[in-house]
Amino acid sequence: MPDPLRLVAALIVVALGTRLSAWGDETPKSGSKVFPYPAQITVLQNGLKVVAVPFDSPGLVAYWTVVRAGSRNEIEPGKSGFAHFFEHMMFRGTETYPRERYNALLKELGADHNAFTTDDYTAYHILAPASGLETIMTLESDRFM
């Protein structure tokens, strides 16, 4: 099996899984009008769905983490904004990577990162040189533990 760090030019974690879940158990075929790119979908033992999509953009990686919770999940009457609040809290850093260190490591890579909240999910994304994928995965796995 090829080294997964070199297998894809774009790595999308769970993000595409959220989109694909709309089709139930049926995954669209490669080249379909719905999603025209081949997708390699792997479900890890812990249930995390990893979706890798090769894309002709040599040297770049797009890394997405999608949490299947958005503003629609805020069910207490008169109380809203928690999904967006938690999105912002995820940028405050961790014990291992405080905010300043997290941001410095991404800056060293030349990465661009951000997040957004919708009704159905919250997405965190990083665009960086592919050589930084291991660092990105280390940072994000720590942030989402």
Q: What does the DSSP 8-state code read for residue 130?
A: G
What is the value of pTM for the model shown? 0.72
Q: Which of 49, 48, 45, 42 is CA-nearest to residue 4?
A: 42
Domain span holding position 97: 4-143
**CATH code for the domain of 29:** 3.30.830.10
Catalytic residue among 87, 95, 108, 140: 87
Annotated active-site residue 87? The verdict is yes
Q: pLDDT, tens digit, for every residue of 32-89?
A: 578 888 899 999 998 888 899 988 888 999 999 998 888 888 888 888 888 888 889 8
82 is written with which tokens?
A: 């928690």
Q: Is the dihedral of CA 137, 117, 66, 95 positive or negative?
A: positive
Q: pLDDT, tens digit, for every residue of 116-139?
A: 999 999 999 999 999 999 999 999
Predicted pLDDT at 1: 35
Q: How many domains does one find in the chain? A: 1
